[in-house]
Amino acid sequence: MALNLRQRQTGCVIRMLNLNQTPNATIGSANSSEQVYKVLILDKFCRDVLSPLIHVKDLRKHGITLYFLIEKERQTIPDVPAIYFLQPNSANISRIISDASRSLYDTFHLNFSTSIPRPLLEDLATGLLNSDSVSRVGKIYDQYLEFISLEDNMFSLAQPTTYVQLNDPKAGEREIEEIVEKIVAGLFSVLVTLGVVPIIRCGGGGPAEMVASALDAKLRDHLLTKNNLFTEGGNLGSSFQRPLLCIFDRNFEPSVAIQHDWTYRPLVHDVLGLKLNRLTVQGEKGGTQSYELDYSDPFWVSNASSPFPKAAEEIQAQLDKYKQDVDDVNQRTGAHDGADIDGSDLIGHTKHLMNAVNSLPELTERKKLIDKHMNILSVLLDKIKERTLDAYCTLESDMLVKESIDRNAFLSALRGNGIKTDKLRLAII
């Protein structure tokens, strides 16, 4: 059962950007006149949903000429349809009503990241009626995209405070229920996007069981309807092959979340602040440099899970190979030291020159990729030395494997380099 969540979510987003219709492959080429130009209105969460999936430059391919955050003040753009992609909450509903009452756009296509609750839908209808702007709204869709796909099979619900809230002794029952509902909404969106009904397993007691029970109930209620989201897809929802969904409480093994890691991707995330597959580091000539680290980067795909030294060796090997290829091109296109060239030599020389010219774009892209990771690895190495992260990684690994503590090494680490968070993480482990 091949499940590629990123591809599935990207497909859903592209369909939404084409007014919830399957995009015509001919649009933008032979029949470019058929393209419908639109503006895109987002809230911050939905902007983050789109960010790892589709680049700004690619929005134009789907007719998006402008995009705005809904909270920003915007000018009227008449005769142009607007696609709204938002979380269903009272603040966004109020802004939609305000935009429609001012006739900011020709038609409003409303897309919510998850199912809009009935009270909010009624508020929307009442507000549109009172402002005499119902005719502005084209259609309303529940997209079930309440999650962020960072890789083909890795996603985030983008709820960074959930762990603290669930483990807060002062948290009330209603607060816990609201948090669980948000988690369930996100997981339900993942399952709808994949078109699967999983077998759910969890540990007994605690938040994991609460989430599993609520998700199970939501799935069962939804499947009772004849035309539900899983039968509409007609693929894996009713298949005999069902994936296994395991839900764990973070307290099941807290060391995994706080342990210093020695592989490339965790180091970049932990030390350099990778977020939504984007990274900003100090440039070689001063200033800052922003990079994207995603499926379009072959070195990242191949080496993200490699130990830091292995990734450094690999980028050096690619640099050496690049230099060798450049030398080969220079030799093939070099002059003949003023010697006479006959006809056959001239033809051969011309072919070499054409091949060299054709190889230049590929060499240029390789050099950009090498420079990018050379810079990232260099900045990362400086941080590792500054905070002695290699020592933390070794010490924590030994503690977890041997289940014993070298007291002298432990005290030395606490007194040594490293920021306060490094020392706190070591102490917790």
Q: Within this chain, do residues 307 and 244 fall inside the same structural domain, yes or no?
A: no
Poorest-pLDDT segment among 294-298, 327-331, 417-421: 327-331
C-alpha span between 39 and 81 (Å, rounded): 7
187: left (phi over 0), alpha (psi -120 to 50) or beta: alpha
Model confidence at 127: pLDDT above 80: yes
Domain containing residue 167: CATH number: 3.40.50.1910
Model confidence at 1: pLDDT above 60: no
Instruction: Quote the pLDDT of residue 54.
Output: 94
Q: Within this chain, do residues 230 and 281 fall inside the same structural domain, yes or no?
A: no
Contacts of residue 75, defined as CB under 8 A and 6 or more positions apart, other chains included, come to 104
pLDDT in tens, 70-91: 999 999 999 999 999 999 999 9
Q: Within this chain, do residues 263 and 276 fall inside the same structural domain, yes or no?
A: yes
Q: Within this chain, do residues 238 and 268 fall inside the same structural domain, yes or no?
A: no
Instruction: Quote the pLDDT of residue 241.
Output: 79
pLDDT band at 354 (very low <50, low <70, confident <90, very high): low
pLDDT band at 138 (very low <50, low <70, confident <90, very high): very high
Domain containing residue 135: CATH number: 3.40.50.2060
User: And the tokens for 110?
Assistant: 């409303």
- Please answer whether residues 111 and 86 qualify as being in contact, where contact means their C-beta atoms are separated by less than 8 angstroms: yes
Q: Within this chain, do residues 87 and 115 fall inside the same structural domain, yes or no?
A: yes
Q: Within this chain, do residues 372 and 273 fall inside the same structural domain, yes or no?
A: yes
Structural domain tally of the chain?
Answer: 3
- Please answer whether residues 219 and 191 qualify as being in contact, where contact means their C-beta atoms are separated by less than 8 angstroms: yes
Q: Within this chain, do residues 32 and 49 fall inside the same structural domain, yes or no?
A: yes
> In percent, how much of the chain has pLDDT > 90?
70
Contacts of residue 360, defined as CB under 8 A and 6 or more positions apart, other chains included, come to none
* 420 occurs within a structural domain: no
Domain range enclosing 60: 5-145
pLDDT band at 340 (very low <50, low <70, confident <90, very high): very low
* 31 occurs within a structural domain: yes
- Please answer whether residues 10 and 49 qualify as being in contact, where contact means their C-beta atoms are separated by less than 8 angstroms: no
- Of 98, 117, 145, the one marking the end of a domain is 145
User: And the tokens for 22?
Assistant: 């399957």
Instruction: Quote the pLDDT of residue 350.
Output: 57
Domain containing residue 324: CATH number: 3.90.830.10
* 291 occurs within a structural domain: yes
Model confidence at 349: pLDDT above 60: no
* 399 occurs within a structural domain: no
Q: Within this chain, do residues 101 and 209 fall inside the same structural domain, yes or no?
A: no
pLDDT band at 232 (very low <50, low <70, confident <90, very high): low
pLDDT band at 235 (very low <50, low <70, confident <90, very high): low
Q: Within this chain, do residues 242 and 270 fall inside the same structural domain, yes or no?
A: no
The chain-wide mean pLDDT, for the chain, equals 89
User: And the tokens for 204?
Assistant: 């007994």
C-alpha span between 401 and 208 (Å, rounded): 26
Q: Over range 393-414, report the average pLDDT.
A: 87
pLDDT band at 266 (very low <50, low <70, confident <90, very high): very high
The gap from C-alpha 182 to its chain's centroid, in whole angstroms, comes to 19
Q: Which of 243, 52, 221 is nearest to 147 (CA)?
A: 52
* 411 occurs within a structural domain: no
Q: Within this chain, do residues 139 and 264 fall inside the same structural domain, yes or no?
A: no
Q: Within this chain, do residues 221 and 268 fall inside the same structural domain, yes or no?
A: no
pLDDT in tens, 147-176: 999 999 999 999 999 999 999 999 999 999
- Of 100, 119, 145, the one marking the end of a domain is 145
* 213 occurs within a structural domain: yes
Model confidence at 414: pLDDT above 80: yes
Q: Within this chain, do residues 246 and 263 fall inside the same structural domain, yes or no?
A: no
* 117 occurs within a structural domain: yes
C-alpha span between 7 and 281 (Å, rounded): 29
C-alpha span between 63 and 228 (Å, rounded): 30
* 393 occurs within a structural domain: no
